[in-house]
Amino acid sequence: MTCPMGRKRAELWAGALLLPIGAVAAAAGLSGLWGTADPGMGAWAAVALGAAALVGGLVLLIDGIRLRVPVLEVEDGEFRYTRGRYIVRIPFADVGSYYVLRGRTRSLGLCDVAGRPRQFPSVQGRRASRPYLPLTGLTSPAKVDAFMSTAGIPPRDRSLTSGR
């Protein structure tokens, strides 16, 4: 999955689903082991599958909790974008406008006061630079618009008549 928020939700839900299934399967296998004098392979298989489901559920939950999704903040006179260890800090006075690139993976572009798009280093640590900050596919453009209007950053005016 390319969307970190979607991956996080999927891993958390799958882990939360696997934990009780694994616990029930392991408990059923253990009760089969203790209930008969000569336990068959079915009881051992249920214990092994239950233990594997428990471990898999725990791994998915831990990985889902550790996944970081992009965070937008405006605080202390600066605009901040955080995605894991990647942090972009821009003085609030240097941000003139914004635009949202819609598509499979939504992105946020910031422009300086003169209206030119800002360049950002790549999120993956490559040498290329990009004129946008990647958001997630599940991020609603309306939420980004609401956040930016609350912060006082206007949308980029792309009209030829300049608002007439």
The answer to whether residues 146 and 80 belong to one domain is yes
The answer to whether residues 11 and 52 belong to one domain is yes
CB-hemisphere CA count at 13 Å for 89?
Answer: 5
pLDDT tens over the chain, length 164 residues: 356 677 788 888 999 999 999 988 888 887 776 665 556 667 778 888 889 999 999 999 998 888 777 778 877 778 888 877 788 888 888 888 888 887 777 788 888 888 888 888 776 666 677 788 888 767 778 888 888 888 888 888 765 455 44
What's the whole-model pTM score? Answer: 0.59
Domain that holds residue 8: 4-66
Domain-ending residue, one of 66, 83, 113:
66
Give a yes or no: residue 95 inside a domain: yes
Give a yes or no: residue 26 inside a domain: yes
Count of domains forming the chain: 2
